[in-house]
Structure 1
Amino acid sequence: MEYLKFCFVFSFWIKFSNCVYSTETPQAPAPLPKEKLLVLTVATEETDGFLRFMQSANYFNYTVKVLGMGDAWKGGDVGRSIGGGQKVRLLKEAMEALADQEDLVVLVVDSYDLIFAGGPEEILRKFQQANHKVLFAAEGLIWPDKRLADKYPSVRSGKRYLNSGGIIGYAPYINRIVSQWNLHDNDDDQLFYTKIYVDPLQRQTLNMTLDHKCQIFQNLNGAVDEVLLKFGTDRVRVRNPVYDSLPVVVHGNGNTKMYLNYLANYVPNAWNYEHGCSHCDDDVVDFTQLKDFPNVWVGVFIEQPTPFLPEFFQRLLTLDYPKDKLKLFVHNNEVYHEKHIQKFWEENRNVFKSFKVVGPEENLSQGEARNMGMDLCRKDATCDYYFSIESDVMLTNRQTLKLLIEQNRKIIGPLVTRHGKLWSNFWGALSLDGYYARSEDYVDIVQRKRVGVWNIPYMAHVYLVKGNVLRNEMKERNYFVLEKLDPDMALCRNARELTSHREKDSPSPESFHMLRPPKGIFMYLTNRHDFGRLISTANYNISHYNNDLWQIFENPVDWKEKYIHQNYTRIFTENRMEEPCPDVFWFPVFSEKACDEIVEEMEHYGSWSGGKHEDKRIAGGYETVPTDDIHMKQIGFDKEWLHFIREFISPVTLKVFSGYYTKGYALMNFVVKYTPERQAYLRPHHDSSTFTINIALNNKDTDFQGGGCRFHRYNCSIESPRKGWTFMHPGRLTHLHEGLPTTNGTRYIAVSFIDP
C-alpha cells in the first residue's frame, strides 16, 4: 500500500516538475495572410447602404464576393420583422464550392447597414487570438425568440446573445453550419444560427463562440452609448471603452441605422481633423464636360406670411443658372402674398421655361402641394432634378444650384442657418420617438468648424432630388403625407425607410412581409460653402402697409440689406463722410427702399399734425416750434426706430464726436412733411437734444424744389439734401438752425432728437 502511495506521489511530482521546469513554450499559430480571408455578403440591390459598405471594403482592400445581386428578394421584411432565410440559402450554395479549403477564413456580414473600420490583417489576427473555428457577433439583446435565453451559456463579462449579421470562421466549419439549412427563404436566419449555437453538442463539435467583448464585431442595437469615435491622423475608428476594444466591423442593426450613418460620416476615412472631407470630390458632376445644363423643376412653397418675399424671388431670379433650363412651380397659401407673386409673374413669366402658380383658392394642404410639385418632375421625362425651396430661405450664394448638382447625390440640401443662432435646416440625430435630437457634431457643422458632405436623418426648407430617383426608387406619389408628421418629416422618414411593394411573383399572398429589405435613400447636407440663411416668420405682423420695416429685431441681416444704404459701411472702412458745415456731419444711412416705405407708411397713416402749437402727443401739450409731422410712436414704430438709432447712428456718433458715448435714446422721433400749401419752412430754433439726425426721405428737384437747412452761427446752408443721407449735428447752444422754404412739391424728412 505504501508503495502505491509512493508511486502516485512520485508520478505527480514528475508531471509538476515538467510543467514548471520545461523550457518549451506553446507556439502561436503563424499569422494568416490577408489573401486567406474572403468576405461573403448578400445583396440583391445596389442601395446607398450597399455602396457605402463596398466603399469601406475597398478602402481596406478586402476581397468581397456578393451573393444574390439582381435576384428577387423573398427573405421577408427584415427591417421590421423576422426573415432573412434567403441569405442562408445563398450562403449555403456558395459554401459548397469552398468547403474543402481548410485554411480559408470566411467572413459573412450584412452589407446594407454595415461598414468596416479596420483591415483584413486585423480581423485575421483577432480571429486567431479567439482560438475557435467559428466566431459569431454578439449583442446584449436576444432576438427573435426570447425563450431561448436560458439555453445560452452564461458569461462573466461581455455580451451573451448571438447576432447573425457577422460570422467569421474556417470555410469547412461555416459549410457544416449552413449545410443544415432546409427552411424557407422568409424564415429567420438568426433563429437558425441561434438554435445551432445553443445546442451544446454542436457548439463543442463546431468549436463555436461569440465575440463577447466586441473585438471584431460591434452591433449598435442596444449599445449606442457604448461607442465613441476615436480620431487618428489618417483614419477614424469606433472605440468601445466598455471592453477597451476597437471593433473592425460596425453593424447598425435594429433601429440604429441612423446612428451608423452618423458614424460613417467619419469612419473609416470620410472625415478627420487632419484632412477634412476625403470623399467630397469623389464622383462629382463636372459641368465643363456636360454638353448642356441639366433641366430643373423648381418648387417654391409659401405656406405662411413671409417677410422679404420680393427679395426672395429676386435671389431666385439671380441664381447663376440658365433660365431656359428652369421650370418654376409656385404654391402660395397666403392671400397677402398674391400681390407679390403677381408682380413677379408679370415681370418674369417669359424668363423661365415654364411658370406655374397654384394659389390659396386651391385650398391644398402643405403635403398635397409638395406632392404636386414633386410630381411635375416625376412625370416630366426631361426633368433631371427637382429643387424644392421654401420662402423663408434666402440663398445668398448664386452658385447654389450648380454646387448641389455637382455633389451628385440622390438627395442633398445646402446648409442654411438663422443668423446668430444654431437653428438650421437639418437635424444631426433623431430621438427614439423620431423627433429632434442633437448629434455630437451638430454645432460644429452649423458653425462650419467641420466642413463636408454629411449623411443626415432629417432636412427641410431646401433640397435637391435627382429626377431619375423620383421616377424609380421614389416613384410613389405621396411622400409628404404620413401619419401626423409635417410634410418634411414625412418625406425624410419615407426616404429613409424606403421599401418596395410586394414582389409580383411572390409565391403566396398571405405573407405580409414578402418585401425587399429597406432600400433607405441617404439624404445629404453640404456645408462646403456659405449658401445663405433662414429668416424668421414666427412674429411677422402683416397689419402694416410695409410690414418688412418692422423686422429689424426678427431678421436684422435681411432688414439691413433692404433698408440700410449700400455705402453705409464705407463710413468706417473708407471714412466716407462729409462735413458741409462745422460739426455738421453728412453720411448715407437709408436705402431708397427704406425712404420710400417710411413715406408710404406715414401717408397711409395720414394723420399729419398740421404744424400747430397745441400738441397732445408731447409732455405739456405745447410745441414751441411745431412741424407738420407724424410721430413714430403713432404708427407703432418707436421701438424699431430706437433700435435703428443704436445700431446704425450710435457707431457714427462715437466716430465723429470723439469721447462722447451716446445712450441712443430719443423721445421725439418723427417724419416731417413740408409743402408750400401747409408748411413750407421752419423758423430758427435749437433742438431739445444733445445731437440731432435729419434724414432726407425723397429727392430734390424730382420730388420737390427748395428746402434745405441753414446754420446761423456759421452762416452755412445745405441746400441739396440727398435721399437716404442724414445730417448729424449738435442740438443745443451752437447750432441754431432753420428749415429753408420748400417752393414746390412735397419734402419729407425723418428727425430724431437724441439724448434729450
Structure 2
Amino acid sequence: MKVVRKQRSGLLIFTTANGTSDGYNRFLRSANQTGIEVIPLPAAAGAAGQEVKRLRAALERRAVDPRRLSLVLGAVASDVIVAGSAAEIVAAFRKQKGRVVFSGNVHCRPDASLADQYPKSESYRFLDVAAFIGHGPDLVSMLSDDDLETSDGGQLAFTRLFLDKAKRQKYGLGIDRKADIMQGLTGSYEDVVVRYRGRQPFLQNTRFSSVPLVVHGDAQSRQHLNTLGNYLAGGWEPRDGCVACWGGQLELGSEPETFPRVLLALFIDQPTPFLEEFFGAIRELIYPKAKIDLFLYSGAKYHHGAVEQLAEKVHGAYGSVTVVGREQGVSSRAARSQAMDVVTPMLAQIYTTRGNFMTELGVDMSAAPPAEYKAIVTSKRKGLWNVPFVSECYLVKRSVFSDDATRPDFEDGSENVHNTFSKTIVDSGKFLLVSNRANFGHLVDPRGFNTSRLHNEMWQVTTNRWDWEHRYLHQNYSRNLDPSVPVAEPCADVFWAPILTERFCQELIETMENHGQWSGGTNTDPRLAGGYENVPTRDIHMSQIDYDREWHMVLRYYVQPIQQRVFAGYDEDPPVADLNFVVRYKPEEQPALVPHHDASTYTINIALNTPGKDYEGGGCRFLRQDCSVTDSRRGWLLMHPGRLTHQHEGLPTTSGTRYIMVSFVDP
C-alpha cells in the first residue's frame, strides 16, 4: 500500500517547554493533523538572556525563509491545542496589523500597575507571551533587542518591550486583541465554545465572533483546556464520535495465555444494596480467570459473609484471591495502597444523571449538571473524555502506582479517597479519562442503605429502582405493555397480569411473618380511622412495616400502566391507596371472606404463593359475573373495579396457608 505523507505547511511551531507527556502528545497530534512542523527547543542554561538567545538561535537556523511563519509558544506545549489548519493561521495573520503578534489577555501580568500604559481597548488589550507569531526575520529582529537579550525572557521583559512605543513601532509589535489567531483561556474561558461546521469542530469566541486557531492555557485554566481538547484536533465529531479513541489500543488477540495479567480489586467499604448481583456480574466477566488476581477488601461487617462466600466459590479459578478487612487491622485506605495511564469506565445510576465522574469541579451536580456532563452520562456523546474527577471504578496501569509522582497517598488524611486519587493523577499532569464507548455497567447508590430489616433490598425501589426491577419485577412484566399481547381476562372486567417475582413474594411473606403483628380479624381495628372494619381479615398493613412510600412507587410505575391499558380513560396520577395490606388465610384462623364490595375505584389482588403447593382451596369468586379465579399464579395480580359492579368473596382455604397482597386504589 502506498503511504501518502502530508506536505509540510508554511508554518513552524517552536516550543520552549514540553510539559507533561499526555498533554504534549495531544499538542503534537493537533499540530500534525495539518502537517505543521514542531521544533522543540533544548533546555536553556538558566543565565540571564539564555532563554532569548536559544530561541533566536533556533529561529536563525530553521526560520530563515521570510515567507514562512513561525509560532512561538511561551506556554508549555502540553497546555496548547492547535485548533485550526496552517493555512487558516497564515490567512488570519495576514489580516493583523503587526509583524510580530502576541496573544491577548484580559489581565495585565505580571505587574498590574502597567495597565494604564497600554493603548486603550475594549478587547484583550494586554500582551501574553504564552504565544506569539511572526515571520522568522521579524522574530529574530525583535529577539536581538539589547534589553530583551539581557532579560530573563519572561512576561515582564516582553511587556516592557511592547510598552516602549518606539520599539513597538520598530519591531512591528501587535496584540491579537480579538483572538483571531490565539486564544488564552485564563480569565476568558467563558468567551469560547466548541461548534461544528458539518463534522468539523472549531473554537468560537462568542465575545468577538472570532474563530481562534490556537488555544493555550495554564495551571489555572487547564481543566477548561482539557474539556475543549475532548472535541478539538480530531477529538470528537458528530458522525464518527471519538476519532482519537482508536489510537494506541491494545489488541488482545485470540490466545488467552497471551492476555495481560490484571489485578481486580473490589473494595466493600459500606453496606451496599444488590451486592449479590454485583458479585454475580464479576464472576461472569469474559476474561481468562487465571489471568486475574482478585483482591477483596471487606470493610462492612454486614457483607462479610457474602465476601467470604465469593472467595470460596472462586478459589482456584483465579490467578490468586486475597481477602483483607478491618478485622486484620487494615483500613480501606491502606488496602487501596496494597491493591494498585488511567481510564475510568463511565458508570451512571439508571433513571438518574448521577455518574462516577465530573466534567467541572465546584459545580452543584444535583441542581444543574453541565450540559457536557449530561451528554456524556446519558451516552448521547460517546468517546474518551478528559475530566478532573472520577470515582468508584478505575482501570490503572501498574506503572502509575509504582511512580512516586503518580502514586496516590490514600492515607493523606483527606476525607474522600476518590478526591485523593483524582487530584494526584491530575496534578501529575496525566490525563484522567472516562470512557462511555461501551456499556460497562452502572452505579448503585449505597447512601442511607438500611440493613436492619429482614430483606433490605425490598425497600430500594425508591433509591436504586433499576436494580430493584431486575430483582423483583416479573420477567414477563413488559408483555403487559405490549399492545399486540392481550391482557388475560378470566372474568368480565377482571384482568390478570404478571407483576412481581417469586422472590419478592417470598420475601414479603417472610417479612410479614417476621413482623408478626397480624390483626385479630374482628370488626374492631384501631389501625383505621374510626376504629371499625366492615369486612375484617387477618392482615398486616404495609404501613406497619414502613413500606407505604415504596408500595406507592410500585403502584405508580408498575400497576398504573396496566390499569391505563385495561381501563382506558382513567388517568388519576399518581394513584393513591390508603389501604395496602397482606392477608393470611388459614383453615383454623380465617379460611374465607364474605361477599363484599371494596372501598376503591379499582382493586389489585396479588397472589403471594401457589395453590396446590402451599395451600388447597382458596380463590376469588365474583358474584354478579358468576365467575371464579382459583388457579392463582404467584406474582400475578388480579385487577377489577372496586365498587358497584364486582361484588366478590374469598373462597375457603381448606389446608395450608394462603397469602395475598391487596391494594384499594383511589378510594
Length-normalised TM-score, structure 1: 0.76
Contact 1:419-1:534 at 8 Å conserved across structures:
yes
Distance 1:643 1:614 in 2: 30
| Letter of the structure 2 residue corresponding to residue 189 of structure 1 | G
| Letter of the structure 1 residue corresponding to residue 81 of structure 2 | I
Among 575, 580, 584, the alignment partner of 1:669 is 580
Compared with structure 1, are the counterparts of its residues 238 and 621 closer, same or farther at alpha carbon in structure 2 (3 Å cutoff)? closer
SS class of match (2:246): coil
Which residue of structure 1 lines up, in the alignment, with residue 648 of structure 2?
Answer: 736
Distance 1:747 1:450 in 2: 52
Compared with structure 1, are the counterparts of its residues 542 and 84 closer, same or farther at alpha carbon in structure 2 (3 Å cutoff)? farther
Compared with structure 1, are the counterparts of its residues 86 and 330 closer, same or farther at alpha carbon in structure 2 (3 Å cutoff)? farther
Q: CA deviation at 1:531?
A: 4.2
| Letter of the structure 1 residue corresponding to residue 463 of structure 2 | E
Q: CA deviation at 1:254?
A: 4.7
Which residue of structure 2 lines up, in the alignment, with residue 405 of structure 1?
Answer: none
| Letter of the structure 2 residue corresponding to residue 171 of structure 1 | G
SS class of match (2:655): strand
Q: CA deviation at 1:673?
A: 2.8
Unaligned residue ranges in structure 2 (runs of 5+)? 1-6
Q: CA deviation at 1:48?
A: 1.0
Distance 1:448 1:755 in 2: 39
Q: CA deviation at 1:304?
A: 3.4
Which residue of structure 2 lines up, in the alignment, with residue 453 of structure 1?
Answer: 384
Q: CA deviation at 1:414?
A: 3.2
2:477 counterpart of 1:568: yes
Which residue of structure 2 lines up, in the alignment, with residue 516 of structure 1?
Answer: none
Query: Which deviates the most, 433-442 or 586-595?
Result: 433-442
Q: String of CA shifts for 1:23-69, please: whole Å, max 9, x gaps.
A: xxxxxxxxxx975432221345661111111111111211222234x
Among 46, 65, 72, the alignment partner of 1:108 is 72
Distance 2:612 2:45 in 1: 82
Compared with structure 1, are the counterparts of its residues 625 and 363 closer, same or farther at alpha carbon in structure 2 (3 Å cutoff)? farther
In the TM superposition, what are the counterparts of 1:200-599 in structure 2 within 5 Å? Answer: 202-273=167-238, 276-288=241-253, 292-361=258-327, 368-369=333-334, 372-373=335-336, 375-377=338-340, 410-431=341-362, 439-472=370-403, 475-478=406-409, 480=410, 484=414, 486-498=416-428, 520-573=429-482, 575=485, 577-599=487-509
Q: String of CA shifts for 1:484-543, please: whole Å, max 9, x gaps.
A: 563222322221121xxxxxxxxxxxxxxxxxxxxx111222333444443333443333
| Letter of the structure 1 residue corresponding to residue 176 of structure 2 | D
SS class of match (2:424): helix
Q: CA deviation at 1:458?
A: 1.9
Distance 2:360 2:21 in 1: 21
Which residue of structure 2 lines up, in the alignment, with residue 512 of structure 1?
Answer: none
| Letter of the structure 2 residue corresponding to residue 63 of structure 1 | E
| Letter of the structure 2 residue corresponding to residue 59 of structure 1 | Q
Contact 1:711-1:738 at 8 Å conserved across structures:
no
How big is the alpha-carbon RMSD for the aligned residues of Structure 1 and Structure 2?
3.8
Q: String of CA shifts for 1:8-37, please: whole Å, max 9, x gaps.
A: xxxxxxxxxxxxxxxxxxxxxxxxx97543
Percent identical among aligned pairs is 36
Q: CA deviation at 1:598?
A: 0.5
SS class of match (1:521): coil
SS class of match (2:549): helix
Contact 2:148-2:161 at 8 Å conserved across structures:
no
Compared with structure 1, are the counterparts of its residues 142 and 598 closer, same or farther at alpha carbon in structure 2 (3 Å cutoff)? same
Compared with structure 1, are the counterparts of its residues 164 and 705 closer, same or farther at alpha carbon in structure 2 (3 Å cutoff)? same
| Letter of the structure 2 residue corresponding to residue 554 of structure 1 | T
Q: CA deviation at 1:285?
A: 3.1
SS class of match (1:463): coil
Distance 1:571 1:414 in 2: 34
Distance 1:349 1:551 in 2: 31
Query: Which deviates the most, 659-668 or 295-304?
Result: 659-668
The total of aligned residue pairs comes to 654
Length-normalised TM-score, structure 2: 0.85
In the TM superposition, what are the counterparts of 1:33-72 in structure 2 within 5 Å? Answer: 35-43=9-17, 47-68=21-42
Query: Which deviates the most, 708-717 or 112-121?
Result: 708-717
Distance 1:166 1:667 in 2: 70
Contact 2:619-2:651 at 8 Å conserved across structures:
yes
Distance 1:246 1:617 in 2: 71
Among 637, 646, 658, the alignment partner of 1:747 is 658
| Letter of the structure 1 residue corresponding to residue 245 of structure 2 | C
SS class of match (1:239): strand
Q: CA deviation at 1:591?
A: 0.5
2:125 counterpart of 1:125: no
Compared with structure 1, are the counterparts of its residues 185 and 668 closer, same or farther at alpha carbon in structure 2 (3 Å cutoff)? farther
Compared with structure 1, are the counterparts of its residues 696 and 122 closer, same or farther at alpha carbon in structure 2 (3 Å cutoff)? closer
SS class of match (2:374): helix
SS class of match (2:247): coil
Among 132, 144, 148, the alignment partner of 2:110 is 144
Q: String of CA shifts for 1:551-572, please: whole Å, max 9, x gaps.
A: 2222322222221111111123
Compared with structure 1, are the counterparts of its residues 432 and 220 closer, same or farther at alpha carbon in structure 2 (3 Å cutoff)? farther
Contact 1:34-1:121 at 8 Å conserved across structures:
no
Whichever of the two has the greater Rg, that structure is 1
SS class of match (1:671): strand
SS class of match (2:477): coil
SS class of match (2:276): helix
SS class of match (1:609): coil
Distance 1:259 1:166 in 2: 18
| Letter of the structure 2 residue corresponding to residue 724 of structure 1 | G
Q: String of CA shifts for 1:215-237, please: whole Å, max 9, x gaps.
A: 32211212223333342124222
| Letter of the structure 2 residue corresponding to residue 739 of structure 1 | L
Contact 2:400-2:407 at 8 Å conserved across structures:
no
Compared with structure 1, are the counterparts of its residues 432 and 651 closer, same or farther at alpha carbon in structure 2 (3 Å cutoff)? closer
Distance 1:639 1:226 in 2: 47
Contact 2:99-2:171 at 8 Å conserved across structures:
yes
Compared with structure 1, are the counterparts of its residues 700 and 537 closer, same or farther at alpha carbon in structure 2 (3 Å cutoff)? same
Contact 2:408-2:421 at 8 Å conserved across structures:
no
Contact 1:700-1:721 at 8 Å conserved across structures:
yes
Which residue of structure 2 lines up, in the alignment, with residue 16 of structure 1?
Answer: none
Query: Which deviates the most, 248-257 or 43-52?
Result: 43-52
